[in-house]
């Protein structure tokens, strides 16, 4: 479970006085605990991963906003937190792997964009960004 790993990281980073990792792990643990309270049960590993992805997405959005506002120091802080969060996520699928999934889905569903998208998104198990999948499926179908 990710929660146990995070709790251990917090202990290690307290001893090592690594403030960035410590604050990032505390923030993530808090988000996971709130989700547990909300669902009134222990989270599954997939639910935990979904929360980590959601927090990573928040960092990506914040980086864009800070860069637009010319706040480079804050964007760098968000980038550092994003790198820490990505360590907890499974590796993302490559464009070639997404293309393979797309071709398999086309064999099954033909050129129906909606069905192909659904098939590829389901087959990727959350290891690829929806926008990337969309771009690759569109390029393959057209």
The ranges assigned to domains in the chain are: 2-88, 95-141
- What phi and psi, each to the nearest 5 degrees, are found at residue 114? -60, -45
pLDDT at 100: 95
Find, among 63, 62, 56, 11, the residue nearest to 31 by Cα.
56
pTM: 0.79
Q: Answer for the pair 109, 115: CB distance below 8 angstroms, yes or no.
A: yes
The neighbour count for residue 61, using CB atoms within 10 Å, is: 11
The neighbour count for residue 140, using CB atoms within 10 Å, is: 16
CA distances from 36 to 46, 55, 71, 88, 132 (A): 13, 15, 34, 18, 30
pLDDT at 1: 81
pLDDT at 105: 94
Please give the CATH number for the structural domain made up of 2-88: 1.10.1510.10
pLDDT at 125: 85
pLDDT at 46: 87
Residues with Cβ < 8 Å from 141, sequence gap 6 or more? Answer: 106, 111, 113, 116
Secondary structure of residue 21 in the 3-state scheme? helix
Provide the 8-state DSSP code for 93: P
Residues of the chain with pLDDT under 70: none
In sequence order, which ranges of 1-142 are alpha helices (DSSP H)?
Answer: 2-16, 19-39, 45-68, 72-88, 95-109, 113-124, 130-141
pLDDT at 69: 96
């Amino acid at each position: 479970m990710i929660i146990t790993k995070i709790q251990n990281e917090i202990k290690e980073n307290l001893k090592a006085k690594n403030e960035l990792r410590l604050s990032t792990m505390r923030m993530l643990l808090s988000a996971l605990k709130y989700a547990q309270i909300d669902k009134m049960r222990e989270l599954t590993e997939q639910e935990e991963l979904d929360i980590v992805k959601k927090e990573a997405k928040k960092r990506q959005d914040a980086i864009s906003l800070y860069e637009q506002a010319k706040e480079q120091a804050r964007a760098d802080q968000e980038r550092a937190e994003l790198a820490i969060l990505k360590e907890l996520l499974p590796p993302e699928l490559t464009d070639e792997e997404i293309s393979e999934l797309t071709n398999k889905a086309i064999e099954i569903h033909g050129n129906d964009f909606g069905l192909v998208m659904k098939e590829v998104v389901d087959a990727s198990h959350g290891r690829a960004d929806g926008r990337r999948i969309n771009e690759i499926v569109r390029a393959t179908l057209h």
